[in-house]
Amino acid sequence: MPYRNILNQRTRKLVALLLVSAAVVAVWALVYFVPFRRPHQSANQSTALANKTEAELWTQGLEKVKADRGEPADGKTGIETPPELRHYADRHWFLATQVAEVRKHNVHACQDFADLAAMIQRGEMVSLPSATENYILFGVGAKVDSEPFSRYEDDHSIALYNEAQLNDEYRRLAAARSAIQTQIAGLKNQLGALKSRDRVKQRELQKELSTRQQQLTSTDEDKALLDRSYGQPDSRQRLFREYESLQTLARNFGGRAYDIGNSSDRQVLKLNLLRSIRPEALRVMEEIATDYHRQFDRPLPVSSLVRPEQYQHALRKVNRNAVLIDTPPHSTGLAFDIDYRYMSAGEQNFLMTELARMKDAGRIEVIRERRANYHVFVFVDGVRPSDALITASLDEATVPPAEANHVATMPAKNQGKSQKAKKPRAKPKTRRR
C-alpha cells in the first residue's frame, strides 16, 4: 500500500478520534454544568406553571360545579336524606358533640386573624390552594373585609399597631377630640345667640350638637380602649409582638408579600388566611373530594373552612347559620362546609351516603343544612366523644331558637342515645375570655 494512502487513513482516524473526543467532552459538559444553571430557571418555570394550573383548575372547576345537570336544582327532588344527616330530637346535641370534642382534646379555637396567622406559623393549620383536581374553594371568605387587623378579646376588637403607629393613633384621636370640642363650643355659642322664636333653627342646631357630642363620646371610648389595651407594659409589648408576627407572615405567605398597611393587601391576605384547615380535617375532606371527583368528574365545592370568632360574628349579620356559642365549630379548624346547591340528586345522595358511612364509623359529625351546605366536623382521633362528655357540654351548645330551625329533625326512633339529654338550657351566650 502506498505510503500516502497509509498516511491519509491515519489522518482520517485521528480526525475521527478527535471528533468523538470533542463530542464526549461536550456531553460531559452538558451533564456537569447544566444542573447548576437550570434550578433557578426550572423553579421559575415550575412556579409559573403551578400558578397557571391552579387558576385554570379553579376556572374549569367553577364551570363544572355550576354546569346544568338537566334536572331541577331545588334540593328536594329525588333527595333522600339519611337519618345520620338529620338533626337529633334534642337540637343541642349536634353542637354539644362538637363542643365535647374540643373539650376532649383541648382544641384551641382561633379568635381572630392574628390568632389564625400564628396557628399557621406553628403548623397547627395548613393553607390550601384555591383549587385542585378534586376540590374547589367555592365562596370561602366571601364576606371578608379590608379593615386593619385587630385582636378580638372580651367581645371587643383591639387594633394592632407597632409603636410608631400607636403614637400616630393617639395623635389622631387627640386632634379629632380637639376639633369636635371646637365645633361643640361653636354650636353652643350659636344656640345662645338665637332668639326664642327661632325654634326651627334651634332644633337644627340641637340635632347637630347631639351628633357632635356622640362623636366626642365615641372618640373618648376609642382612647379609653387604647389605654386599657396598650397602657400596661406587658400587654403593650404583647400586642407589639403580635403585630410583628403577623407582619412577618405577611412578608412571605403563599409565595407572595403583603403590605398589612394597605387595605387591598389586607383583604386579600385575610381571604388567603381563611383558606386554612387543620391537617386532621384536611385528610377527611380530601378523602371525600377524591371519591366525589372519581364518581362524577367534578371538583367538590367547599364553601367554608376555618372561621375565626371575630369573622364568625361579622358573618352572623348575613348568615344565620353562623352560630354564636362559646366555641363555634368553624373556629377550631376541624369543620368544613360542602356546597350542594348545584348538585344533582344522584350527586347529593352519593355524598350523603359517604358522609353517613363516616359518621357511623365515628369519624365525623355531619348535618345537611337546609340552605346550601353539608356541615362536616372531624373528630381529631377518629373517635366520637362519649355520651357523658356530650351531655356535660350541652349548656355550652345553647343557640338562639331561630338558629335551630335551619336543619331537619331526626325522628325519635333514629335519635339513639341522644334522647337522654333533657335538661334546662341557659340563655344564649357569646364568646368570653
Question: When comparing pLDDT for 35 and 317, which is higher?
Answer: 317
pLDDT at 42: 41
Share of the chain above pLDDT 70, in %: 76
Using the predicted structure, report yes or no on whether residue 4 has a pLDDT greater than 50.
no
Using the predicted structure, report yes or no on whether residue 142 has a pLDDT greater than 60.
yes
pLDDT at 13: 52
pLDDT at 399: 56
Confidence band (pLDDT; 50, 70, 90) for 104?
Answer: very high
pLDDT at 170: 96
Confidence band (pLDDT; 50, 70, 90) for 155?
Answer: confident
pLDDT at 36: 30
Confidence band (pLDDT; 50, 70, 90) for 407?
Answer: very low
Angle at 181 between CA 176 and CA 184, to 5 degrees: 125
Confidence band (pLDDT; 50, 70, 90) for 51?
Answer: low
Lowest mean pLDDT segment, chosen from 65-69, 108-112, 408-412:
408-412
pLDDT at 26: 41
> What's the average model confidence in pLDDT over 91-107?
95
Confidence band (pLDDT; 50, 70, 90) for 15?
Answer: very low
- Could you give the dihedral angle defined by the CA atoms of residues 340, 343, 346 and 348, in that order, rounded to the nearest 10 degrees? 0
Q: Per residue in 119-133, pLDDT tens?
A: 999 999 999 999 999
pLDDT at 219: 96
Confidence band (pLDDT; 50, 70, 90) for 314?
Answer: confident
Using the predicted structure, report yes or no on whether residue 315 has a pLDDT greater than 90.
no
pLDDT at 396: 86
- Cβ neighbours of residue 232 under 8 Å, at least 6 residues apart? none
Q: Per residue in 191-231, pLDDT tens?
A: 888 888 888 888 999 999 999 999 999 999 999 999 999 99
Confidence band (pLDDT; 50, 70, 90) for 326?
Answer: low
Separation between Cα atoms, residue 138 and residue 66, nearest integer Å: 11
Phi and psi at residue 68, to the nearest 5°: -70, 125
pLDDT at 419: 37
Lowest mean pLDDT segment, chosen from 149-163, 176-190, 244-258, 313-327:
313-327
Share of the chain above pLDDT 90, in %: 65
pLDDT at 10: 52
Q: Per residue in 233-265, pLDDT tens?
A: 999 999 999 999 999 999 999 889 999 999 999
Confidence band (pLDDT; 50, 70, 90) for 409?
Answer: very low
Separation between Cα atoms, residue 61 and residue 298, nearest integer Å: 7
pLDDT at 196: 80
- Average pLDDT for the chain: 82
Separation between Cα atoms, residue 221 and residue 344, nearest integer Å: 53
